Amino acid sequence: MGVEKLEFQVREAGGPELLERLKWLDAERVRPPVEGPSVRAPDKGTHADFDVVLVGGGLSLLFAPVLAGLGLKVGVFERGRAGVVHREWNIGGSELWPLTASGLFQPEEVESLIVARYAHGVCRWHGGGEYPVRGALDHALDAGRLLAQVRQRAEHRGVRFHEGHTLTASCEGPDAVRLHFERTGGGQAEVTARLVLDGRGVSSPHATADLLCPTVGGVLTGLREGRAPDELNPRVGDILVTTEGVDEGRQHIWEGFPGRPGEATVYLFYYAPAREVRGEHTLLRLYGRFFERLGRYKRGEPRLLRPTFGYIPGWSRLVPPPRAPGRRVVLVGDAAARHSALTYCGFGAMMRSFLPGAKAIAAALQEGRVPTGPVVHDTPLHAVTGALAFFMARPSREPERRDEVNALLDTAFAALHDMGNEAYAALIKDQMTGTDFLRFLQRIARRRPRVYRDALTLAGFGPLAAVRWLEGLSRAVLQLPASA
C-alpha cells in the first residue's frame, strides 16, 4: 500500500491533526539533531516562574493536578494540545486505586471510565498453545475522557497550560532551570522553573533507552464476533498474539482489547533495537502491514474509527538507563523507560508512579532541595525481564529459523501458565517476586533443556550483557532496589 493511500486512511479516521502527529513522530526518527539557541543559566536566588514545569501533555499529565494540589505552582508546556491521547489503555481493576487515593476521582467516576471488562486475557504464540490469565489487563478505559478530566482537574487547581510550545533549549542554574520554547506560528518564550518534568516520551532527546516498540492500530468496528481465535470475543482480551513467524527481520505481535459494544482496540507492534528503527515512514509502513495482515488475526469487515500509534521506548537493563541532563530535570513516563521492558505497560507503570512521585517532588521542593530518590516506579524484576525483550528484538533473519522465537515463547508461557494464575498475572502486572521468577526459569529449563543456550545464541548476548543479566537476577531474587 502506497504512502499516500495510508495517509488518506489515517486522515479519514483520525483527522489532519492526528496524521500530522504521526508524520512528525516518523520524521523525528530520521531528523538529525539540531542545536538549540544559547540560553543563559538562571542566577543564584532566582525567583522561578513555576515550581514545576511539565514538558509534554500526554499520560504524564497525571502529575500536574496532584502537584498543584500539594501547593506547587505548575505549568504544562506542550507542542500540540495537552490532554490528547493517541493510544488506548487497559489495566487490571486492582491497579486503578491511585486515581481515587490521589483525590482526583471518586470511585463512581472511575467506574464510569471503564468501557469493558473481560473474563480473562490470553497469550497465544503461532504454532503453540493458548494460555489464559485472569486479573491482568482485563479492564478497558476511555483514555480520551480520562485525560480530558485530568486536565479539567488540573485547570481547576490552577495549573497553567501553554500549548503550541516546543522546548528547544534549557540551562540549569543553582536554584532553577531556564527553558526556551519556540511557539507554533512564530515567536519565542522563556520561563524558569525550580524543577522540570520531561514527559515528552520518545520525542525527548534524553529518551535513550536501547529498545523501541513501533506500534500502530486503532479502534475498529466490524470484526466478526465469536469464540474462535480469529473472531472477537467481547469477554476476552488478547494480551500477546502472533499469527506468523519472523518476517522482514521482525517478530510482529498483535494485541486486541474489546471496548464498547461492537468495538475493539487492535494493535500491531514489534520490538527492535532503538538504533535500528530509523527508516522513513516507519509507522506509516507498519500501518500498511496492519491493514494487509489484519484478516489473519481477526476476520470481518473492519473499519478504522480512530487510529492509535506511537513509538514506545523500553530499556533492557543490559545497558545504562536514560538519564536527565541535570539535577533539576526529572524524566517521567516513556522518556524514563522504567516500565516493564517485556510488556511495556506504560499505563500501569504510571498508575504506580504519579502519586508517590508527586509526593516525593513536593516534599523535596518544600524543603528547598531536589528529589534524590526514585520518582518513577521500577522493580528489580525488570532487570531480568529486560533480557526477554532484548531477545524478542533480535530474532534470527535466517528463513529456516523464522519460527524459533514463537517456539521459545510458547515454552515460556506454557511453564508460566502451569505455575498458576497468581504467578502468571503477577508477571504481566510487574508484580512477580524474584523467587517466583527463578522458579519460572527452572520450569522453562525442564521443558526445554537447551532453552537458555538457544535464547542467548538467538539474541547475540555478549559476555558483559550476560553478566549484567545475572546480576539483575540476583537483585530480583534478593528483592534489592533496581539499579540506576
- pLDDT level of residue 32 (50, 70, 90 thresholds): low
Mean pLDDT, range 156-182, rounded to an integer: 96
Q: Are 251 and 271 in contact (CB under 8 A)?
A: yes
- pLDDT level of residue 4 (50, 70, 90 thresholds): confident
Which of these ranges, 45-49, 133-137, 370-374, 460-464, has the smallest mean pLDDT? 460-464
| List of residues 6+ apart from 382 with CB closer than 8 A | 315, 317, 338, 340, 341, 430, 482
- pLDDT level of residue 429 (50, 70, 90 thresholds): confident
Of 176, 197, 171, 188, the closest CA to residue 48 belongs to 176
Taking residue 208's Cβ as centre, other Cβ atoms within 10 Å add up to: 17
Per-residue cell: 347: 499505563
For residues 314 and 335, what is the distance between their CA atoms, to the nearest angstrom? 9
pLDDT tens, residue by residue, 128-148? 999 999 999 999 999 889 999
Of 165, 163, 179, the closest CA to residue 37 belongs to 179
- pLDDT level of residue 20 (50, 70, 90 thresholds): confident
Phi, psi of 20 (to 5 degrees): -60, -40
Q: What is the pLDDT of residue 456?
A: 59
For residues 353 and 148, what is the distance between their CA atoms, to the nearest angstrom? 20
Q: What are the beta bridge partners of residue 54?
A: 76, 197
pLDDT tens, residue by residue, 320-336? 889 999 999 999 999 99
Of 455, 457, 456, 427, the closest CA to residue 440 belongs to 427
The residue count of the chain comes to 484
Q: What is the pLDDT of residue 469?
A: 64
User: ∠ CA 65-70-73 to the nearest 5 degrees?
Assistant: 70
89 CB-contact burial (10 Å; exposed 0-12 / middle 13-18 / buried 19+)? buried
Mean pLDDT, range 427-454, rounded to an integer: 82
- pLDDT level of residue 437 (50, 70, 90 thresholds): confident
Q: Are 57 and 161 in contact (CB under 8 A)?
A: yes
318 compared with 191, residue with greater pLDDT: 191
For residues 29 and 213, what is the distance between their CA atoms, to the nearest angstrom? 13
Of 120, 303, 370, 87, the closest CA to residue 202 belongs to 87
- pLDDT level of residue 470 (50, 70, 90 thresholds): low
- pLDDT level of residue 308 (50, 70, 90 thresholds): confident
- pLDDT level of residue 63 (50, 70, 90 thresholds): very high
| Strand 120-124 with 236-241, pairing | parallel
DSSP states of 360-373 as a string?
HHHHHHHTTS---S
Q: What are the beta bridge partners of residue 99?
A: none
User: ∠ CA 215-476-312 to the nearest 5 degrees?
Assistant: 10
For residues 149 and 105, what is the distance between their CA atoms, to the nearest angstrom? 9
**Is residue 158 left, alpha or beta, with left meaning phi > 0 and alpha meaning psi from -120 to 50?**
left
Does residue 190 sit in helix, strand or coil?
Answer: strand
Does residue 228 sit in helix, strand or coil?
Answer: coil
What's the DSSP call for residue 286?
H
User: Quick one: what percent of the chain has pLDDT higher than 70?
Assistant: 90
Mean pLDDT, range 227-245, rounded to an integer: 96
33 compared with 379, residue with greater pLDDT: 379
Amino acid at 381: L
For residues 101 and 82, what is the distance between their CA atoms, to the nearest angstrom? 24
Mean pLDDT over each residue of the chain, to the nearest integer: 88
Q: What is the pLDDT of residue 203?
A: 87
Helix axis angle for 382-393 and 463-478, nearest 10°, is 140
Of 293, 244, 234, 231, the closest CA to residue 267 belongs to 293
Mean pLDDT, range 139-166, rounded to an integer: 95
- pLDDT level of residue 194 (50, 70, 90 thresholds): very high
Does residue 401 sit in helix, strand or coil?
Answer: helix
User: Quick one: what percent of the chain has pLDDT higher than 90?
Assistant: 55
Q: What are the beta bridge partners of residue 116?
A: 140
Is residue 373 over pLDDT 80? no
Q: Are 46 and 179 in contact (CB under 8 A)?
A: no
Q: What is the pLDDT of residue 433?
A: 84
Of 405, 412, 368, the closest CA to residue 390 belongs to 405
Taking residue 346's Cβ as centre, other Cβ atoms within 10 Å add up to: 25
Which of these ranges, 14-28, 79-93, 230-244, 456-470, has the smallest mean pLDDT? 456-470
